[in-house]
Amino acid sequence: MVAIHRPDPFSLIQELCGNFSLLGRVNGLDHQTNWYMPAILWFYLFAPLFYRIITDYSGKKQIRHILSLVAFVILINVTFFGNYFVLIGVSRIFVFLIDMIFACLGSKKINDKTLTVFSVICLLVGIGITFLTQRYFKSGLKTYGLDWYPFIIIAPSASIVSGKIFSAFEKFRIGRTLNKAFSFIGKNSFEIYLFHMTVFPIATTILKKISNPMWVGLAIFGIAGGFIYNYAVTYITKKIQNKNRG
């Protein structure tokens, strides 16, 4: 007879607290939610501090403060090398920080064509680095975050290039229609992500083998489910708000 392991009540409470405090992964607890939600919350908590460090000074002082902040983020990343469950979120601090720096630079007068060309070059370099790390350094990808760090360059550059492309779309009727479609999907992107995080693990657990057509079907189902989930949450929220006002 095979013994069934039943977790003790304290472990269940600890895992529950780890999920709500968003620190369960840091302590290596089991049954924790995905890294994305904790990362968003902690990044938002640190955003005011990052913003103040970046914007409080100008000239050489601003450069020194930004470099000091980058150096501190490097220390944080090195601290968690080898810890995949934490590093997957911590490595995104770079992307978050670089995007904030780009946003602050956006308020200054920068030649639009120069910025666009620079962004395209950075995007190509980031894609090239991704290819090289995936091909030649695969063993160190998860240990040192090599499959995530190229996005320090890719994420802000792709945002700028995408913005230019979508702006160009506005000149054409079909382009404006596409922009509206992308905008609608973007407003539901978080719900689509959450729904996919539920659907795909369940599907891979139940189905031993999933063919390519089935993956497409699951993706479409996930997107549709995200729309429905967003509508349901919005509807319920409005009902509660109207009830409280009444």
∠ CA(125), CA(121), CA(177), 5° rounding?
Answer: 110
Predicted local distance difference test score (pLDDT) of residue 2: 41
Binned at pLDDT 50, 70 and 90, residue 14 comes out as confident
Predicted local distance difference test score (pLDDT) of residue 125: 94
Please give the structure tokens belonging to residue 189. 């992107």
- 36-55 and 59-79 are packed helices; what angle lies between their axes, rounded to 10 degrees? 150
36 or 107: which leads in pLDDT: 36
Mean pLDDT over residues 172-196, rounded? Answer: 88
Q: Which residues contact 84 (CB under 8 A, 6 or more apart)?
A: 142, 143
Tens digit of each residue's pLDDT (9 = 90 or more) over 131-145: 988 888 877 777 888
Tens digit of each residue's pLDDT (9 = 90 or more) over 40-57: 888 888 889 888 888 887
3-state secondary structure 150-190: CHHHHHHHHHHHHHHHHHHHCCCHHHHHHHHHHHHHHHCHH
Predicted local distance difference test score (pLDDT) of residue 159: 87
* pTM of the predicted structure, to 2 decimals: 0.67
Least confident of 5-9, 48-52, 174-178: 5-9
Predicted local distance difference test score (pLDDT) of residue 65: 87
Return d(Cα 98, Cα 158) in angstroms, integer: 13
The whole-chain average pLDDT of the chain stands at 83
Residue 29: helix, strand or coil by DSSP? coil
